[in-house]
Chains A and B, each alone.
Chain A
Amino acid sequence: MAERVDVCIVGSGFGGSIAAFRLAELYRAAGETPSILVLDHGPRHQHTDFRQSMDVENLSRIYGLVQGEGVQIVVGNGVGGGSNFYLAASLRSPSETFERRDHRPEDGPDRRMWPEEISRATLDPFYTRAERALRVQRPTWKQVAKSGGLWAATLDRAGHTCDRVPLAIDLDRCIQAKWCHTGCIYGAKNSVITNYLASAEEMGVEVRPNSEAELIVESQGQPYRYVVTAWELDNDGPEPTRQPTGQSFEVECKVLILAAGAMGNSPLLMRSRPALPSLSSQVGKHVGINGDHIAAIEYNEQKVRELLRLPGFGQTYKGNHITTMTYDFWAGKAGNERDGTRFTLQEIFLSTLPHILYDDGRAPSGEPSWWGLQKKQALSTFNNQIEILAMIEDTNDGEFLAAPPSGGAIRPNAGPLWVGLFNYSPSEQTVRAGEAADSAIAEVLARAGLGRFMKCTFRSANAAHPVGGCRMAESKDLGVVDHQNEVFDYPGLFCMDSSSIPTSLGVNPSLTISAVVERACQLLIERSADYGLPAKPAGFTAGVPGVHLGPHTEPIRRTSDKAIDEKVRHYEAAFP
């Protein structure tokens, strides 16, 4: 016998947590206890559980590194989803994004890619709502990291502008350690486990970790509409296998909200297609990577001093991961004839690992460039290197080929490395836009005369921002969900997360995903009684989730870096 709840939410990242919080507010306003269950396939994380470490065991606990054909995608593993490991850049996507008409020729008629109801103007109120919940603030110049400042000064010297990037970080609490990527140990970064989701739980929402939704069928028991079968995963304990335990359970619900992300929703719906035969043929298609295109710069420290009159550099490791970016290659390019040519360039620290990807171009012809002696020497200038994330207008070039037997990807062992059954083959437009971004960075450097461009050498793309697969569109022949994030022909079934985003965004995607889901929740609440949920009470307004920090040690930020900076220099000198 399936357990019954009004609302079942699959996934607890930005999408699932926002839905849980907003619907919990509705129940409380109606004087009822929320009948809402959130399932997540990963373990539960408190911010106090996070560790500043890239060891394989830690990565196995918090990440899935999903290798598909042609692309590798990093996903967050655990309650809170990607919000635990994002780098907190929280930006509104430019108007042009929502007006785009470019796409692959085989991808339907010439049309606006987003449904007509969605534009920057219609999303703005929901951006505001998400910014308040995630406590977005813009760093002052005194809070901009040296690495971000260096990018700004470089652009300035080359005649460009550069803007400070708003962040979902409590900058008073932040210790500027540059360890957002394995989870903020002090809760200074505003992940959903410290706001939306924690507030939803406080209002009575149940969050069940280690529970992977595997199959959806329609319910015969009106007003219940869907039954979800979930498998329990062995994620906890001293030596977790991270595989199904053999235990399963069923949940019957009136409203089913899929928020397992662009890497999770498509496989789940594809596996369920025999029971949901009217699903759009577009499920699993048009999977993008938000136009992620990375590169790096190796600075000449002496020139930094001479030309920029900055007191040296060599301190990649300090400050927030993302603090500055330029819009100069996007702004002024309005109009559909410029679709596919715009990009932004953002200074970013992903982690130490991507430095395998950057080629300093010094290896003589015929000698290895990405391994060997020259590569080793290039790594010794690591702390004079910064990474640049170009966010280009691509054409969502990925596609799921099949659903694995369980979950969103095959987990061959208990490790962090999963195999995704999707392929990614960039279109000519995508390749061209990436090359334009590379040229722009190289030209900025040439004009500023400060360093060396390091191209990302790959035949496989690398990304942390998967979008699409269940994209929103005007009609079922073009997409999977409508502008309200409701699946065509399946009332009460929603995809409220990155999977619904139909294009790259030109900026880091978390805030736009949040705004789209905030909007979808408001529209669902307007008609909640139609689904058998409490009717929206008169005067109901959306609130702001509180900040919930676990038991913790108060952060103490180092006041002087002299000792550690000298130690870094000491080791540099030790290996002449």
Chain B
Amino acid sequence: MLQRATALGLGALVISALPAAERIFVSEADAAVQLSDATLQAFADTMLPGRKVLTTDLGNEIHPLAIAGVNNEPGAVQADALLLYHDALIGFDALEAPFLSELSARSLTHGGSFLSLGFEQRVEVCLEGLAPSNPTVLVWEAAAAVPFTAFLASAEQSEATIDTSSAYQVMGYPGTAANGYGEFSYKRKLSTELTKHGYLA
């Protein structure tokens, strides 16, 4: 059940989740930047899993443990989800520390850091965090919306095409099409029509 985390509602979610974020105790152990980025990538891979690769579409580094590799198609990490997490136009940075703090705390009850967990354990952690009964679910939904937006919209690429966006390759979506399409219609009548002009009286 999709909760409020629509891809479109992402930034507003980020803002509305701030009060919930304040309820999460922030541990200093999560301060390491590289580890936090790797953990965000691992979370993105749990939302939209992908094949194991070491660089994103835009050539950015992927932590070797981030992608679990349970799907043989490119996933959200390859679609530069991490770049979108840190995009000032989205504003997720304000939620990052409290989100990662709770993610880490929940991961420990499943056997270790989120990054060290197998895919099934990562899913268990996320099912807990994204449960409607979790008081901080809004923070998790905001965190979930980022990889979806990075993937579905190729949101970090200007005028993305199927040649530049691995997500579009998965979806079978050509992207930018400045010359459009010639063979866009079946070119025949396919149903009876109720009205004369296309609208009711």
Enumerate chain A interface residues (CB-CB to B < 8 A). 51-60, 65-67, 72, 74, 91-95, 120, 138, 141-146, 149-150, 152-153, 155-156, 160-166, 174-179, 185, 310-311, 314-319, 324, 326-328, 330-331, 351-357, 359, 367-373, 375-377, 379-380, 382-383, 410, 412-420, 457-460, 462, 507, 555-561, 564-565, 567-568, 571-572, 574-576
Q: Count chain B CB atoms within 10 A of each CB in A95, A166, A367, A564 and give the residue with the most.
A: A564
- A383-B169 Cα distance, complex, nearest whole Å: 11
CB-CB under 8 A from B163, the residues of chain A are 567
Which of B4, B15, B75, B130 is within 8 Å of A376, CB to CB? B75
Determine whether B22 belongs to the interface, using a CB cutoff of 8 Å to chain A. Answer: no
Contact across chains for A141 and B187 when beta carbons are under 8 A apart:
yes
Q: A53-B176, A558-B181 are in contact. Are A571 and B8 (CB under 8 A)?
A: no
Q: Which chain A residue lies CB-closest to B154?
A: A54
Contact across chains for B174 and A317 when beta carbons are under 8 A apart:
yes
Q: Which of B29-37, B59-67, B81-89 faces chain A?
A: B81-89
Contact across chains for B192 and A161 when beta carbons are under 8 A apart:
yes
Determine whether B127 belongs to the interface, using a CB cutoff of 8 Å to chain A. Answer: yes
Secondary structure type dominating chain A contacts: loop
Q: Interface digits, B158-182 against A, CB 8 Å rule (1 contact, 0 not)? A: 1110110000011111111111111
CB-CB under 8 A from A142, the residues of chain B are 185, 187-188
Further pairs besides A146-B185, A460-B3, A460-B6: 12, Cβ < 8 Å: A146-B184, A149-B186, A156-B191, A185-B178, A371-B46, A371-B126, A372-B49, A417-B14, A417-B90, A568-B172, A568-B173, A571-B170
Determine whether B149 belongs to the interface, using a CB cutoff of 8 Å to chain A. Answer: yes
Contact across chains for B15 and A57 when beta carbons are under 8 A apart:
no
Contact across chains for B12 and A417 when beta carbons are under 8 A apart:
yes
Closest 7 pairs between A and B when the two form their complex, measured CB to CB: A417-B11, A67-B12, A175-B180, A415-B89, A383-B172, A177-B180, A319-B184
Secondary structure type dominating chain B contacts: loop
- A95-B188 Cα distance, complex, nearest whole Å: 30
CB-CB under 8 A from A143, the residues of chain B are 185
Contact across chains for A161 and B194 when beta carbons are under 8 A apart:
yes
Determine whether B38 belongs to the interface, using a CB cutoff of 8 Å to chain A. Answer: no
Q: Which chain A residue lies CB-closest to B200?
A: A94
CB-CB under 8 A from B173, the residues of chain A are 316-317, 352, 382-383, 568
Q: A55-B153, A149-B186, A356-B6 are in contact. Are A575 and B181 (CB under 8 A)?
A: no
CB-CB under 8 A from B126, the residues of chain A are 368, 371-372
For the side of the interface on B, what is the size category?
Answer: 35 or more
CB-CB under 8 A from B48, the residues of chain A are 371, 375-376, 379
Q: A55-B155, A58-B158, A164-B193 are in contact. Are A368 and B127 (CB under 8 A)?
A: yes
20 A-B residue contacts at CB 8 Å?
Answer: A55-B153, A56-B153, A58-B158, A65-B12, A72-B8, A91-B198, A161-B194, A317-B181, A351-B153, A352-B152, A376-B71, A383-B173, A414-B88, A415-B88, A555-B180, A558-B180, A558-B182, A564-B162, A574-B169, A575-B170
Contact across chains for A412 and B91 when beta carbons are under 8 A apart:
yes
Enumerate chain B interface residues (CB-CB to A < 8 A). 1-16, 46-50, 70-75, 84, 87-91, 123, 126-127, 130, 144-145, 148-149, 151-160, 162-163, 169-195, 197-201
- A370-B50 Cα distance, complex, nearest whole Å: 16
- A316-B180 Cα distance, complex, nearest whole Å: 13
- A340-B22 Cα distance, complex, nearest whole Å: 43
Which of A52, A65, A152, A155 is within 8 Å of B9, CB to CB? A65
CB-CB under 8 A from A145, the residues of chain B are 184-185
Q: Which chain A residue lies CB-closest to B94?
A: A412
Q: Count chain B CB atoms within 10 A of each CB in A156, A372, A459, A556 and give the residue with the most.
A: A372
Contact across chains for A507 and B199 when beta carbons are under 8 A apart:
yes
A242 CB, min distance to chain B CBs, angstroms:
10
